Each structure stands twice: as C-alpha cells, then as structure tokens.
Amino acid sequence: MLTPPRCELQSVSTSRGSLVYYSPSPLDSVAPLPQESNSDETVTVPTKSTLVFLHGFGGGSSAYEWSKVYPAFAGRYRVVAPDLLGWGRSHHPTRSLTLDDYLTSLTEFLAALGDDPVVVIASSLTAGMVVKLAIAQPQRFRSLILVAPTGLSDFGVDYGDSLIAQVSQVAGINQLLYWTAIANPFSIRSFLEQRQFARASRVSSEMVEAYTQSAQQPHADYAALSFLQGQLSFDLADLIPQLTTPTALIWGRESQLTPVEMGDRLRMLNPTAIQSLTILDDVGLTPHLEVPAVTIGVLTQLLQTLA
C-alpha cells in the first residue's frame, strides 16, 4: 500500500484489533514552534498539541484520504492519522463490524495518545462518530473540525431503507457486489469522478491506486459491507444539541452524498458549539483530497479561531 513520504508507521493495540497510524516528519518549509531565548532564563519548549486526522468510510477508504493535507501541520503539531478498524493497514476482523466496534477502538486509540486533549479533524460518517465520542468524553477533545459529518440516518431519514443497503444485506450477493462492483480500479475511479469529486479531472492515478490497494486487502469486504448495510448508521441530528466541544464544519458545495444544506441544519441545532460553517465552492465530498492546498489554508485559520 502507498505510504506518504517522510511518514513513520506505528500501531496501537485496542480490544477490537490493532490500528496502524501514520506520523509525518516536519516539512522543511514549515516553521518550527516559536521559542524565546534569554541567557538568564531556562527556555521551556511548549508541548505540541496533537492533531488526529480520521478518514471516512467507503470502498478503499484509508488514512490516504488526508495524506495531501496532514504533512503541512507536522512542524507545529504532533500529527497522527490512523487507518480505521477494517480499513487500510489496520486489523481486518472477519465478521460484521458494529458502531460500538468503532467507538471503542477510537476511544482506546485516543487514550493511547496521552492524557492531553486532542484536536480531531474527521470526515463524513467518522466525523459523526467523533461527535458521539466528544459528548461522552468531552475532556479528551480540545476542538473538532468536521468535514461533511453524517450519521447516515440524519433528521429521521433511515439509510437502511435505501436500495444499496437492502441489496448489501443479501448473503452471497453482497460479496459479489463488493468484489466485482466496488473493489476494482474502474469502479473506484468512476465513484471518485462521478460522486466524490466535483471535477473528474482532479482524480489522479495515484488516488485510484491507493483506494484500490486498500479495497483489495484480505477481508476488507467485512468493514465495507457493514457500512453499506447500514449497521453503523445513527441520527446525528439527535446528538448535535448535546455537543459542548468547540466545533467547526467544512462542506463542499457540490457534495452529493451529504448535501450542503445539511450543514446549515446541523449548525442551527447548536450554534454555541458549532462556531462556524465554511462552504467551499466547486468542491465535492472530500475537499482535503480534491483541493488539498485550499483545505490546508482553511484548517490553518480554523485551528487559530478554535484555539
């Protein structure tokens, strides 16, 4: 599988399986943390805050999704970007996965990073899961930056009633669906170009290769089918009013799977915690992969504002 340049691979053992994560070295172009020197005083170097980048769900998802963005923050922050359970290089259980599997493994992963609260930057369904975690354990989180968060069954619209969810629950057919219609380069490129990005020309061969390699890992179908079947779904709108962690939302205006109007509705449910909604024009579901330079600029501003 593809590994971003200057990244160290490490892992954390959880009760649901090990999670592999990427930790980039600082880029030469990124300024180090400011330090003041005085010959009469001992210089104390501040501890770097931790940024945790969490990818979303879909055929071939992995930490690669954020790989064009997180290295830019390695000079000023401690950056970690894990592959979620059942995805990328992390452990692939040979069973259906549940929402509790992800909440538990993420909780234990964050605990392993230390006691200091972290900033979590997450997308889509994983971003919705992070809201659940922040409500349950607010002391673990400094702030949240969420890209098109969803619980898949938001505002009472049950994803489990959709055709794809129903077909994915049929034994035998679901395996055929995954290996013939999802986990191959043609299907992945088609999805990226037609559903995930606003502009097909922004999809590169490297992206297709990275998603394909993740999708074709042994037993990768278990996590993907659990997602497609709706076993991980919940209503995010029911949770947002309980959120207290300072939060910012980012949304691509051309996002198809989670329309931008949903961002407005979520923010209105809790404008105290959700402090801003940044809408990016001519961008789809994953601005961090489609327009990484723009996303880096937006994240830099939001990190300063939320701090």
Residue 13: give its domain's CATH number.
3.40.50.1820
Asked if the structure places residue 131 within a domain, the reply is yes
Q: Does 217 reside within a domain?
A: yes
| Number of domains making up the chain | 1
Q: Is 204 helix (H, G, I), strand (E, B) or coil?
A: coil
The Cα 292–Cα 52 span in angstroms is 17
Token pair of 210 as six digits: 């990275």
In a domain, 301, yes or no: yes
Instruction: Kindly state whether residue 1 falls inside one of the protein's structural domains.
Output: no
H-state helical runs in 137-279: 163-168, 173-181, 185-191, 205-215, 220-228, 261-269
In a domain, 263, yes or no: yes
Distance, in Å, from the CA atom of 128 to the CA atom of 143, rounded to the nearest integer, reads: 14
What pTM does this model have? 0.92
Q: Which residues pair with 152 in a beta bridge?
A: 234
Beta bridge partners of 122: 54, 146
Q: Is residue 275 situated within a structural domain? A: yes
Distance CA 255, CA 279 (A): 10
Per-residue confidence of the chain (307 residues) as pLDDT tens digits?
A: 888 888 999 999 999 999 999 999 875 433 333 333 333 433 333 468 999 999 999 989 999 999 999 999 999 999 999 999 999 999 999 999 999 999 999 999 999 999 999 999 999 999 999 999 999 999 999 999 999 999 999 998 888 778 787 888 888 888 888 999 899 999 999 999 999 999 999 999 999 999 999 999 999 999 999 999 999 999 999 999 999 999 999 999 999 989 999 999 999 999 999 999 999 999 999 999 999 999 999 999 999 999 8
Q: How many helices (H) and strands (E) does the chain have?
A: 10, 8
